[in-house]
């Protein structure tokens, strides 16, 4: 019995150690929480699952769903509550079937031109509640909220509350939205859960593995629900696929890449990426950020090496273009690397950040490699979100906020200097001497 008790004690001691790898001593690792199923609590004729996304320089796409097949695809909007004047736009609609599931009518309406940094009030379909959003600024500063692998658990709700508690201009989501995984009603539930946030600030998303939803022969190409529900401005950036695109906002060029579509050197995505980055004027647009789902750098046992083939294909393109930072999801933990290229620290490589810790139902990825690789600066398996505030053409501040239940604790931060202002890495567009700070890369 004594021997059995000793072994049991050792087992629980080992389990406790694994759960607290790389966590702050005072922090207790959170447990997974239940999935939230959000029901339709409005009349069937009214819009639901409202979310917005950027389209071009001064337009916004408004997307919503109705059960009523005859509802109008129209958005009325103005700068005062309830006063839409003559500002109304008619858009398009779509729907899809997935086995025995039939979606509602999915409406996409692009409105504008809109003034920057301005609050607009709008109504979808000519009835139902009034919503409002604020357009991003046209100049610095601008703040991005970044959260990957959201799902729809109680941790998701907590993360969203923390994001919404402090103002920001738009949200970037590097894949894995609803975790529907072919259970189509979960897409509807997710849309309702995020509506209070996604209807107020633009959400710019890219796909993850949980969006694929391939079924052999019947649905061989995948992404049926994702492409129908989360239409992004791919055509405006000359992309041929909703799975990868780019957009400009307030001096930043953001590239959303597809980890689950072709990316080899002879692929459309690769050719598009080269052309897209070549068009960026670093004087007018000094910052470039990229988002992918499967990380290219990862010291966690979870999904180890899954982004390697894409890294080998595309990393050099991002490196030569002097992309400032790359954000990924997939691994349910937070990890920040130093500036890296080809698996080595490189002062002219991007900062790589894994932020797949939004609140998914699968729990945290707690098994980090030991010892930590020299290029990995900070890592922790906790739920949370990030904030990227670009102050001007030379400096930005990145912070990671641990989701400690009711509190949002900033656990990691970094000052970045843009490559566009660095003579050593980008001499042809440098405007000033590169400066070095203790907490700056």
Whether residue 70 is found in the same domain as residue 181: no
Is the residue at 365 inside a domain?
yes
- Quote the CA–CA distance of 150 and 198 in Å, as a whole number: 13
Coil, helix or strand at residue 192? helix
N residues, the chain: 441
On whether both 52 and 181 belong to a single domain, the answer is no
Report whether 317 contacts 333 (CB < 8 A). no
Domain range for residue 378?
137-421
Q: Does 167 share its domain with 208?
A: yes
Residue 28 belongs to a domain: no
Q: What is the pLDDT of residues 206-259, one digit of tens each?
A: 999 999 999 998 999 999 999 999 999 999 999 999 999 999 999 999 999 999
What burial class does residue 304 get, using C-beta atoms within 10 Å of its C-beta: 0-12 exposed, 13-18 middle, 19+ buried?
middle
Domain-located, residue 68: yes
Question: Element (H or E) spanning 278, and its range?
Answer: helix 268-278
- Residue ending a domain, among 111, 135, 159, is 135
Give the count of domains, the chain: 2
State whether 127 and 187 are in the same domain: no
| Least-confidence region, from 34-38, 244-248, 345-349, 369-373 | 34-38
Task: Indicate the residue among 135, 151, 185 that finishes a domain.
Answer: 135
Q: Which residues contact 433 (CB under 8 A, 6 or more apart)?
A: 423
Is the Cβ–Cβ distance between 364 and 332 less than 8 Å?
yes
**Cα gap 194→167, rounded to integer Å:** 16
Mean pLDDT over 178-190 rounds to: 97
**CATH value at residue 287:** 3.60.21.10
More confident residue, 374 or 438: 374
d(CA 26, CA 37): 33
Catalytic residue flag (residue 303)? yes
The one-character DSSP state at 251 is T
Question: What distance in Å separates the CA atoms of residue 132 and residue 198, rounded to the nearest whole number?
Answer: 10
Q: How far apart are the first and last CA of the chain?
A: 56
Residue 85 included in any domain: yes
Between CA 92 and CA 73 the distance in angstroms is: 6
Give the tens place of pLDDT for each residue, 38-83.
888 888 879 999 999 999 999 999 999 999 999 999 999 999 999 9
Q: What angle do CA 415, 420, 421 make, to 5 degrees?
A: 65
What's 93's domain CATH number?
A: 2.60.40.380
In a domain, 1, yes or no: no
Q: Are residues 165 and 103 in the same domain?
A: no
Residue 350 inside a domain? The answer is: yes
In the listed set 93, 110, 135, which residue is the last one of a domain according to the structure? 135
Which entry of 107, 108, 303, 395 is annotated as an active-site residue? Answer: 303
122 and 254 housed in the same domain? no
Regarding whether 285 and 270 lie in a shared domain, the answer is yes
Are 325 and 187 part of one and the same domain?
A: yes
Residue at 434 is within a domain: no
Are residues 276 and 381 located together in one domain of the fold? yes
> In terms of pTM, does the model score above 0.85?
yes
Do 96 and 226 reside in the same domain of the chain? no
Over the stretch 397-416, which tens digit does the pLDDT of each residue have? Answer: 999 999 876 777 899 999 99
> In this structure, is residue 430 part of a structural domain?
no
Same domain for 319 and 229? yes
Q: Rounded distance, CA 364 to CA 24, Å?
A: 16
Q: Are residues 82 and 68 located together in one domain of the fold? A: yes
């Amino acid at each position: 019995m004594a021997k059995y008790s000793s072994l049991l004690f050792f087992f629980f001691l080992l389990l406790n150690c694994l759960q607290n790898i790389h966590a702050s001593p005072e922090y207790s690792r959170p447990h997974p929480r239940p999935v939230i199923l959000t029901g339709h609590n409005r009349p069937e004729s009214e819009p639901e699952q409202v979310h917005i996304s950027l389209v071009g320089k001064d337009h916004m796409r408004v997307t919503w769903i109705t059960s009523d097949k005859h509802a109008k695809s129209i958005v009325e909007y103005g700068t005062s509550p309830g006063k839409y004047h003559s500002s109304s736009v008619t858009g398009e609609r779509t729907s899809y079937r997935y086995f025995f599931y039939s979606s509602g009518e999915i409406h996409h309406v692009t409105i504008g031109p809109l003034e920057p940094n301005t609050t607009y009030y709008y109504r979808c379909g000519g009835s139902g509640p009034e919503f409002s959003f604020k357009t991003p600024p046209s100049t610095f500063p601008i703040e991005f909220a970044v959260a990957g692998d959201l799902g729809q658990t109680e941790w998701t709700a907590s993360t969203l509350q923390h994001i919404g508690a402090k103002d920001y201009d738009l949200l970037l989501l590097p894949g894995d939205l609803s975790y529907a995984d072919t259970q189509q009603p979960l897409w509807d539930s997710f849309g309702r859960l995020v509506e209070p946030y996604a209807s107020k600030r633009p959400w710019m998303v890219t796909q993850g593995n949980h969006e694929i939803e391939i079924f052999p022969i019947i649905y061989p190409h995948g992404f049926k629900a994702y492409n129908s529900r989360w239409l992004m401005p791919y055509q405006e950036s000359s992309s041929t696929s909703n799975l990868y695109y780019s957009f400009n906002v307030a001096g930043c060029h953001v590239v959303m890449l597809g980890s689950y579509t072709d990316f080899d050197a002879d692929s459309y995505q690769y050719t598009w990426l080269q052309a897209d980055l070549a068009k960026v004027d670093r004087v007018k647009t000094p910052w470039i950020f990229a988002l992918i789902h499967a990380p290219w750098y990862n010291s966690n046992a979870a999904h180890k090496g899954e982004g390697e083939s894409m890294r080998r294909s595309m990393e050099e393109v991002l490196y030569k273009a002097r992309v400032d930072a790359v954000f990924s999801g997939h691994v349910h933990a937070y990890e920040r690397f130093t500036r890296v290229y080809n698996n080595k620290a490189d002062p002219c490589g991007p900062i790589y950040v894994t932020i797949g810790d939004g609140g998914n139902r699968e729990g945290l990825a707690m098994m980090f490699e030991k010892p930590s690789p020299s290029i990995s600066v900070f890592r922790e398996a906790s739920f949370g979100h990030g904030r990227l505030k670009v102050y001007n053409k030379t400096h930005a501040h990145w912070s990671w906020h641990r989701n400690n239940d009711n509190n949002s604790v900033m656990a990691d931060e970094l000052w970045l200097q843009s490559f566009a202002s660095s003579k050593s890495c980008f001499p042809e567009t440098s405007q000033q001497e590169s400066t070095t700070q203790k907490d700056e890369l």
